[in-house]
Amino acid sequence: MPHLLTPIRCTPQYYHKIWGGGRLAPTGGDKHIGEVWLLSALAGQETPTEGDDYEGASLDALVTRYGDRLLGRGQTARCGGAFPLLIKLLDAKTDLSVQVHPSPDEGGKDEIWYFLETEPTSHICLGLTEPMTADALRSVIERDDLMHYLHWEPVRPGEAIALPAGTIHALGAGSMLIEVQDTSDTTYRLYDYDRVDDSGTRRTLHIEEALRSATLEPHRLDARHLPLGTPRFVCRELVVTREAPQTITTDGTSCAILVGISGSIELGGDSAGSWQLAPHEALLLPAEALPMQVAPSEGKALMITLTPAEL
């Protein structure tokens, strides 16, 4: 019988951004770190695995090696033999660009944002204030009037927002969050406040691509709290208390990904050893490693699972 798979940690990758803050930077590091990629199989931006069990292999390589033992029943075929999710932390010192993502079928993504920290004035852009045609929105952009047609919502810690592909959106200054998405980094910018990058070059806009992908109407915000899902993944909140142990299980249909929010979480399973999860860390629990026990303590994590595959 093969050795049971153990939980997987990856080495985070840190990215300098023009809008980035300093809350996620390593001690003494870049004070404009805007993104920390916790789990990624995106080509050229992979997060290498840690530990002797996996020897630095990429997540895609592990999917090739272990298939449904890692992802869950029927998930390997459904995901095309690739690791399907990209998990990030974002820290916005200033506003991000107004942007849109194409659909997953066109190489884009759905997203869910979970807010870790905000300021009293923190807000996000969600859609337009009124329905518009592509020609009308193009005219608004050309006369530099887009900001008057964007709908903004306040956000607070502990809230979660689903951003389906096609949603015109922007993250406002002051927020730090967990971003869960399909494996894609395709972003079309509609507006970027006329900013220039570190070399003094104005950042590229993608007006025509964005207009072809965007939902050109107000965004319906149905919920601000977990659980939230897309056709391919679901996000829930795991709250750990001192009263009783808990069990994480998916009945073999999916792996589980935990991202620490607060406190300390300890997990153990049928295979030897235990694993600790601290805030801002990610731990990938292979489907084969589940169920796993969560020891009584005080902590909170975001838990991400894949929706069951149709077999």
Enzyme catalytic residues: 189
Question: For residue 36, what is the enclosing H or E element?
Answer: strand 33-39
In the chain, which residue ranges form alpha helices assigned H by DSSP? Answer: 59-66, 68-71, 75-78, 134-142, 207-213
User: Nearest Cα to 94, choosing from 18, 147, 24, 173?
Assistant: 173
Cα(269)–Cα(289) distance, integer angstroms: 7
Could you tell me which residues are beta bridge partners of residue 182?
85
Whether omega for the bond prior to residue 231 falls within 30 degrees of 0, making it cis, is no
Reply yes or no: is the peptide bond before residue 308 cis, omega within 30 of 0: no
Nearest partner of 18 among 179, 285, 204, 144, judged by Cα? 204
Q: Give helix then strand counts, H and E, for the chain.
A: 5, 20
- Count of CB atoms within 10 A of residue 200's CB? 6
